[in-house]
Amino acid sequence: MEQAKLTINDVEDALINLKQVTLEVTDVCNLRCKYCGYGDLYFGYDKRQDKYLSFDKVKTLIDWLVYIWKFFKTVSYMPTTTIGFYGGEPLMNIDLIKQTVEYVENLKINRNFLFAMTTNAVLLDKYMDYIAEKKFNTLISLDGNSEGQSYRVNHSGRNSFDTVYRNVKLLQQEHPEYFAEHVNFNAVLHNRNSVESTYSFIKNEFGKTPTMSELNNSNIRSDKIEEFNRTYRNKSESLYQSENYEKLAEDIFIGEPQTENLLLFLHQYSGNTFRDYNDLFIDKNELRYRPTGTCTPFGKKIFLTVNGKIIQCERIDHNFAVGNVENGKVNLDFDYIVNRFNAYLDKLSKQCKVCYRKKSCTQCMYYIPDIDNNKPVCHGFMNKTDFENYKSYCMSHLAKKPYLYKKLMTEILVE
């Protein structure tokens, strides 16, 4: 298998068919969660300065995108683009959200727009009618019951559980249909909750299966490593420790890490999964692959920070910004984007070439700790033995639950 590089065409294509615009509408937050990615455990983000994104910047970016969307043929008939609002706590800048929604809704363009937001729900009672009316896909951050939520505190250090719980219940009562269709939960795992407790709380109270994430383990400040380790909890471990593992694993289905791995394995290695019809004409062994599992810039989304920086997603260090919106102009130099991306790939290409995981790599290169150094090392690297182990890890899971094969292959809808 030969390696491929990113091309300008890839980037243009991604923008023409852009799926998501994520706007960091403010860096202000009404909570001060102990483990927040913008908090004192981490480095690598722009300093929080109580800023609010201006509508000017949003409009500049959207107008620029609209120009591209009108000019070039999209691959879908009526493409859908989600406008995502991100913070800080996005509801702290509801005015901008409303302005943006109105602006986008009045664009005369052949495109569907959806709106989405991740919120801590503290202000939900105030704005829920609007959010429900616009059918926002809302992801509520809630770490479970009162104990689980206890790292999510307000500025005076008080647990936000009561407020959040009350607001979410209110939303559920006032807008039951909207709640059923468009509201989901995400919980962060740590040493005060567990997969089991969080799952059962959210399931029982709100009838939803939460997604669960671990604490981000990159860019931890060196003086905070101990605190981090104390707080961190691994999802698989937490799951295996639960009393009703089997039942829980079945309920959360692909939320179970081994099942999730199996799904990925079946997609990449069974020879039975194809992305689309055209792939049935392509011999995958002859296909070139791009090293690492990093997405194409803007292949998933474009992220505009509160300071006007443009980044390929909100989950990576702000140093990886590729352009900005400034003085009514979008500054994105495609050559620069491509060259910089490829330069990173070059640093890793040797390792990837001999890595057994290259066909199913999910490693984002921006998460490789010393990627800016000359010789970054990827810790996801797999030699033959590692890969065989990985394979038998997946296969033994399947042998225990053979029914997963058909279920994963036919019932899971992924892009």
Partner 1 sequence: MNKKLTIYSDTFIWIKKPKGLIYNSQNGHYLLFQPTSEIESICKYLNNFDNLYSIIFDDETLNSETQKFMQNIEERHLGILTNVEANIVSLPPLLNILNAVEKLKADKSRSESENILKYFSALTVYTGGKCANTNYYKQTFYPCNSNEVLTSETIINFLDNIQSQYLNSINIVFSDILNYSDAQVLIDYLESLQIPTTIYVHYTEIMINNRFLDKLRNNNLTVKIICEIDKDLQNILLFCKNESYHYNFLIKNEEEYNILEEMIENLQIKKYTVIPVFDNNLQFFEEHVFVNESDILATKLSKREIFAHQALNTNFWGALTVLPDGKVYSNLHNESVGTINDSIYDLILNEFHNNYSWRLIRNQKPCCDCIYQWLCPSPSNYEFVIGRMNLCNYYNMQK
Binding site for partner 1 (CB under 8 A): 73-80, 266-267, 270-281, 283, 395-396, 398-399, 402-403, 405-406, 409-410, 413-415
- Give the residue, chosen from 124, 188, 378, 408, that forms a contact with ligand SF4 under the rule CB under 6 A: 378
Give whichever of 111 and 340 is closer to partner 1, judged by the CB atom: 111
Q: What is the smallest separation between the CB atom of 335 and partner 1, expressed in angstroms?
A: 20
Angle between helices 8-16 and 55-71 (to 10 degrees): 110
* Cα distance between residue 5 and residue 24, in whole Å: 30
Q: What is the smallest separation between the CB atom of 397 and partner 1, expressed in angstroms?
A: 10
Q: What is the smallest separation between the CB atom of 200 and ligand SF4, expressed in angstroms?
A: 30
128: tokens are: 């829920």
Q: Which does 276 bind (CB under 5 to 8 A by kind): ligand SF4, partner 1, none?
A: partner 1
Closest by alpha carbon to 360, among 254, 269, 262? 269
> Is there binding between residue 305 and ligand SF4 (CB under 6 A)?
no
> Is there binding between residue 57 and ligand SF4 (CB under 6 A)?
no
DSSP letter at 360 equals G
**Binding string to ligand SF4 for residues 169 to 188, with x set by CB under 6 A, is what?**
--------------------
Interface region with ligand SF4, contact rule CB under 6 A, candidates 114-122, 189-197, 277-285, 375-383: 375-383
Give bridge partners of residue 140 from the DSSP assignment.
119, 185
Q: What is the smallest separation between the CB atom of 268 and partner 1, expressed in angstroms?
A: 12
Distances (CA, A) of 260 to 15, 189, 367: 29, 17, 20
Interface region with ligand SF4, contact rule CB under 6 A, candidates 65-73, 110-118, 355-363, 398-406: 355-363
* Cα distance between residue 379 and residue 389, in whole Å: 16
Give whichever of 240 and 381 is closer to ligand SF4, judged by the CB atom: 381
Give whichever of 343 and 413 is closer to partner 1, judged by the CB atom: 413
Give whichever of 55 and 387 is closer to ligand SF4, judged by the CB atom: 387
Q: Which residues of 3-41 are buried (b: 16+ CB within 10 A; e: fewer)?
A: eeebeeebbebbbbbbbbbbbbbbbbbbbbbbbbebeeb
Q: What is the smallest separation between the CB atom of 309 and ligand SF4, expressed in angstroms?
A: 14
Q: 127: exposed, middle or buried (C-beta count within 10 Å: 0-12, 13-18, 19+)?
A: middle
| 3-state class (DSSP) for residue 162 | helix
Distances (CA, A) of 73 to 54, 76, 111, 191, 280: 30, 9, 12, 50, 24
- Give the residue, chosen from 208, 235, 315, 407, that forms a contact with ligand SF4 under the rule CB under 6 A: 315
Q: Which does 403 bind (CB under 5 to 8 A by kind): ligand SF4, partner 1, none?
A: partner 1
- Give the residue, chosen from 239, 332, 352, 408, that forms a contact with ligand SF4 under the rule CB under 6 A: 352
